[in-house]
Structure 1
Amino acid sequence: MTRSRATTIGFSAVLMWAILAFLTIASAPVPPFLLSAMCFGIGGTIGLVWTAKGAGLGLLRTVPLKAYLLGTIGLFGYHALYFTAFRLGPNASTGLIAYLWPLFIVLFSGLLPGEKLRAGHILGALIALSGAALIVLTGGEAGVSLIALALAFLCALTWSGYSVISRHFGAVPTESVTVLCLATALLSLLAHLAVEQTQWPNGALGWAAVVVLGIGPVGAAFFTWDVGMKRGDIQLLGVASYAAPLLSTLVLVLAGIAKPTWHLALATLLITAGAALAARASAAR
């Protein structure tokens, strides 16, 4: 697989995550850990079928335990924080703070062996960040929970750390994500039984939101993201991922959860320019 193809596959995860915030809000009032258990249960089951029909389930026994531990901590920790943040602050601002992880990926990636952080990557990340910041600073809703924003910020650190560290496990097959999903589902279920009161989705829309989450943003997205992080251009993916907060906000606008403003247009320009600059830096390499 070429580096460019792996990058493209990785970016498909960003497109799926564009509807993560909307679906999380639509799945209310399901508590965070129960939602995580349901979604990862669906994603893990799909992964089992895919692995069984492809490389075979025996491949999963060849994966080092430390790779499974890292992935489980990353997936479980990120989504526990993300879903909790959205239950406390179900709005666009919470999602946009959580989507600071692309900046951290770009910056942290310079610490990886064989990777070089160019000036274009840094400048592109800062320009794209200014676009994301513009949305946050001008689009915050009244009464936003500071705790929700703090949890969202921890989300960004957790996901970026997991994504960059996963580069060290480049030889681990993507099929291993199946085990990560199932382990996260189990941990989430145990946490739910320990600390939460069971509440199921409201009506057909709520159940549909949970199913779509499990199939896409909390399912297939992790498999394609794994390919991008291990074999693709990690700096370019990090900056291009700034499309996620923009697309996520646009989805909330179309759903009537957030209001359209001129700030979105300017943010679009900044995010696109930042991604283009980073792409040029990667091409120059």
Structure 2
Amino acid sequence: MSRPFATLLGFGAVLLWALLALFTAATGDVPPLQLLAMCFAIGGISGLLAGLPRRGWRAWAQPWPAWALGVGGLFGYHLLYVLALRNAEPVEAGLIAYLWPLLIVLMASGRALKAHHLAGALMGLAGAALIVTGGVGIEIAAEDVAGYAFAGAAALVWSSYSVLSRRFATVPTDAVTGFCLVTALLSGLAHLALETTAMPGGTEWLAILGLGLGPVGLAFFLWDIGVKHGDLPVLGAASYAAPLLSTLVLIAAGQAEPGWPVALACLLITGGAVLAAKDMLRGRRR
């Protein structure tokens, strides 16, 4: 598989993540950890069924470091993100958590970090900040320090998972099915310990099914291909498109209003992604 094609598949995950806000809003009052357990179970079962013709379950026979990275990345990031939102204002926590694309660019490039990689990622971060904050200032409250720490840890976990996956490039993507199922189990246990179970209604079940099949299902399989075989700095910078596309989806659905922050964020994120992908667009390899 060529690097540009793998990068394109990885960006497919970003496109699916753009549906997270719309679908999540439609799940009503289902607690976040319960929602994660249900969605990862749907994603894992879907992956298992899709892999049956080629006996995809055989890919689960991996050494423990591969399982630790896969489950630690999926479950660790989402648990930390939920804890961040529980202990800090969502806007500030979300912005800190969205440092992960920048961290991917920095960690993946290493000594080969180029000015246009960093500039593209910073432009994307600025665009994401406009989307998350709506173009208004944010306030850092001392009582929210724990939440900020959880958000920062979430960003570090997801960026580390994405970059370290490169070292397990020989692990088939079918193994992600097992990671999703274990993550569903751990999320369910965390839900029972921290939350009160809520029974979804008809429309809410449809939203949960959509999440499990797409943003919390197929997206992680596509991301696995992208981070293992694609251009990581480009993927990192391009990932800032997720909050922008998510906002555009909400606007199209009539659940958000357009404004100058969205327009400027569009320019910053698109320009940053193109700048970071300059080498790939010219057909060069790192």
Does TM, scored on the shorter chain, surpass 0.5?
yes
CA contact (8 A) 2:13 2:220 kept: yes
Q: Give the equivalent residue in structure 2 for 1:30.
A: 30
d(CA) in 2 for partners of 1:267, 1:59:
40
Query: How has the CA–CA distance of structure 1 residues 210 and 97 changed in structure 2, closer, same or farther, with 3 Å as cutoff?
Result: farther
d(CA) in 2 for partners of 1:38, 1:55:
24
- How many residues align structurally? 280
Q: Give the equivalent residue in structure 2 for 1:158.
A: 157
Q: State the TM-score, normalizing by the size of structure 2.
A: 0.87
Query: How has the CA–CA distance of structure 1 residues 248 and 96 changed in structure 2, closer, same or farther, with 3 Å as cutoff?
Result: farther
Following TM superposition, by how much is the alpha carbon of 1:28 offset from its aligned partner in structure 2, in angstroms? Answer: 3.0
SS in 2 for 1:228: helix
d(CA) in 1 for partners of 2:139, 2:115:
39
CA contact (8 A) 2:39 2:209 kept: yes
Following TM superposition, by how much is the alpha carbon of 1:67 offset from its aligned partner in structure 2, in angstroms? Answer: 0.5
CA contact (8 A) 1:106 1:239 kept: yes
Query: How has the CA–CA distance of structure 1 residues 272 and 263 changed in structure 2, closer, same or farther, with 3 Å as cutoff?
Result: same
CA contact (8 A) 2:37 2:184 kept: yes
CA contact (8 A) 2:123 2:269 kept: yes
Query: How has the CA–CA distance of structure 1 residues 94 and 20 changed in structure 2, closer, same or farther, with 3 Å as cutoff?
Result: farther
Following TM superposition, by how much is the alpha carbon of 1:70 offset from its aligned partner in structure 2, in angstroms? Answer: 1.2
Q: Give the equivalent residue in structure 1 for 2:251.
A: 253
Following TM superposition, by how much is the alpha carbon of 1:154 offset from its aligned partner in structure 2, in angstroms? Answer: 3.6
d(CA) in 2 for partners of 1:131, 1:144:
20
Show CA shifts across 1:57-108 (max 9, x none).
22322x1111011110111111223345567789777655533321111111
Match of 2:217 among 209, 215, 219: 219
Query: How has the CA–CA distance of structure 1 residues 87 and 249 changed in structure 2, closer, same or farther, with 3 Å as cutoff?
Result: farther
Query: How has the CA–CA distance of structure 1 residues 211 and 85 changed in structure 2, closer, same or farther, with 3 Å as cutoff?
Result: farther
Q: Give the equivalent residue in structure 2 for 1:210.
A: 208
d(CA) in 1 for partners of 2:277, 2:199:
43
SS in 2 for 1:30: coil
Q: Give the equivalent residue in structure 2 for 1:233.
A: 231
CA contact (8 A) 1:18 1:248 kept: yes
Structure 2, unaligned runs of 5 or more = none
Q: Give the equivalent residue in structure 2 for 1:101.
A: 100
SS in 1 for 2:277: helix
Query: How has the CA–CA distance of structure 1 residues 225 and 24 changed in structure 2, closer, same or farther, with 3 Å as cutoff?
Result: same
d(CA) in 1 for partners of 2:161, 2:28:
27
Q: Give the equivalent residue in structure 2 for 1:17.
A: 17
SS in 2 for 1:258: coil
Indicate yes or no: 2:35 matched with 1:39: no
Indicate yes or no: 2:129 matched with 1:133: yes
SS in 2 for 1:217: helix
Q: Output the amino acid matched with 2:15.
A: L
SS in 2 for 1:198: coil
Show CA shifts across 1:236-285 (max 9, x none).
11111111111112223334443321111111111111111111134444
Q: Output the amino acid matched with 1:277.
A: L
Alignment of 1:42-191 (within 5 A): 42-61=42-61, 63-85=62-84, 95-111=94-110, 116-139=112-135, 146=144, 151-191=150-190
CA contact (8 A) 1:132 1:245 kept: yes
RMSD: 2.7
My pick for the range that moved more, 150-159 or 221-230, is 150-159
Following TM superposition, by how much is the alpha carbon of 1:17 offset from its aligned partner in structure 2, in angstroms? Answer: 0.3
Query: How has the CA–CA distance of structure 1 residues 99 and 78 changed in structure 2, closer, same or farther, with 3 Å as cutoff?
Result: same
CA contact (8 A) 1:22 1:252 kept: yes
SS in 2 for 1:174: coil
Q: Output the amino acid matched with 2:19.
A: I
Q: State the TM-score, normalizing by the size of structure 1.
A: 0.88
My pick for the range that moved more, 26-35 or 150-159, is 150-159
